[in-house]
Amino acid sequence: MNGKQVGVIGAGAWGTGLAQALARGGHYVEMWALEQDVVDSVNGVHENKRYLPGFALSSNLTASSDIRRVVSDKEFLILASPSLYLASTVAKLLDIPSIADGSTCIGVLTKGFVPSLNGPKLILETLEDVLPESYKKNLVYIAGPSHAEEVAMGKITGLIAASENPKNAIRFRELLRVQGLMVYSSLDVIGVQICAAAKNVIAVVYGSLDAIAETSDSFGDNTESLLLAAGLNEIQTLGFAMGATHAETFTSIAGVGDLDVTCRSKYGRNRRFGHDIIKTDILSRFKNLDDLIAHIGEIGYLPEGAVACKYVHEIALKYNLKLPICDGLYRILNGEIKPLDFMNELLSQ
């Protein structure tokens, strides 16, 4: 295998986990981190002690706080910055020659929606408005049931590489075809993005139900599977309203696969947040959903579903969609209804 030069923007858990998989597979990966302690940790002891502690990293993986260095002259660039900062981060790269001329193939890991004056936008649409025209319809979106910890360990994981340009989807599929990763290509860019974003909303509700079920005579494993199936239906409804093109997207690893692992895995931050809503009354720290988003750094981990919930609510209103689970989480995070009251309301319909 001929190792490729790969840049990764964002050194969180998922960016680091995938960077490690690529480096372990023989590629030469340089990762940009905002925090100097992350750079020092990755380069000094081959571990991301802040975001992925306990996992040894390959010598093929290095880190830098110089974003221009990480991006310049890379054949492949992977964007893994949080959705709130993605556009402003990418805007710093536009005059780098390999970006300006479109020669670097760009893949995106970031999940969620981005606010705009015209309402919430998907990740790739947002990036296409920032990047040079040559990237329009050429970006690749990478998703699937893929907790960073297991990817870093090399446990077998399935991913989808989705792009309107099938050649670019195949290029990333081949790049990512390393030990532990099984990668499939897709043309349903919108559907895959919707699955990746909306499943986090369902996972927060699932985490709350799971916590309630520990002491409930009414809720159990059967109830949780009922919620998961109903949640998948809401994701599909949202996806088709926004332009998803393939029904099989939602029954593939992009849809049911990613939803299942996000809801059930011990690594899931959104499931954890749902648990914390019940077990630690974490919402008592915040006035409403907007206040929670404004102070989300105080939680100590990033529950992406809380942010996505706000935008799913706006999209549902725009398209007049009935999404009772997503709407219920919006009401819970806004302090309009108690979680147990919502669960009883939802499951008595």
pLDDT at 234: 98
The CA-atom distances, in angstroms, between 284 and each of 117, 289, 330 are: 30, 11, 15
279 has catalytic annotation: no
Q: Which residues pair with 185 in a beta bridge?
A: 161
11 is in an annotated binding site: yes
Catalytic residue, chosen from 155, 199, 266, 287, is 199
Query: Can you give the CATH number for the domain in which 199 is found?
Result: 1.10.1040.10
Give me the phi and psi of 7, to 5 degrees please.
-105, 140
pLDDT for the residue 16: 98
Does residue 205 share a domain with residue 179?
no
d(CA 47, CA 16): 9
Residue 224 is assigned to a ligand binding site: no
Please report, as a single letter, which amino acid is at residue 132.
P
- Per the rule left: phi > 0, alpha: psi between -120 and 50, beta: everything else, 118 is alpha
Buried b (16+ CB within 10 A) or exposed e, 65-89: eebeebbbebebbbbbbbbbebbeb
State which of 149, 168, 187 marks the end of a domain: 187
The residue range of the domain holding 285 is: 192-348
Question: Taking CA 230 as the corner, what is the angle to CA 228 and CA 233, rounded to the nearest 5 degrees?
Answer: 110
Reported as a single tens digit per residue, the pLDDT across 203-257 is 999 999 999 999 999 999 999 999 999 999 999 999 999 999 999 999 999 999 9
Tell me the β-bridge partners of 338. none
Count of domains observed in the chain: 2
Residues 263 and 281 in one domain: yes
Same domain, 206 and 65: no
83 and 226 fall within a common domain:
no
Same domain, 158 and 210: no
Question: Does one domain contain both 153 and 281?
Answer: no
Q: Is 280 helix (H, G, I), strand (E, B) or coil?
A: coil
pLDDT at 33 over 80: yes
Residue 107 assigned as binding residue:
no
Q: Taking the model in full, what pTM does it have?
A: 0.95
Whether residues 35 and 156 fall in one domain: yes
Whether pLDDT at 4 is above 70: yes
What's the CA gap between 212 and 343, in Å, rounded?
9
CATH code for the domain in which residue 114 is found: 3.40.50.720
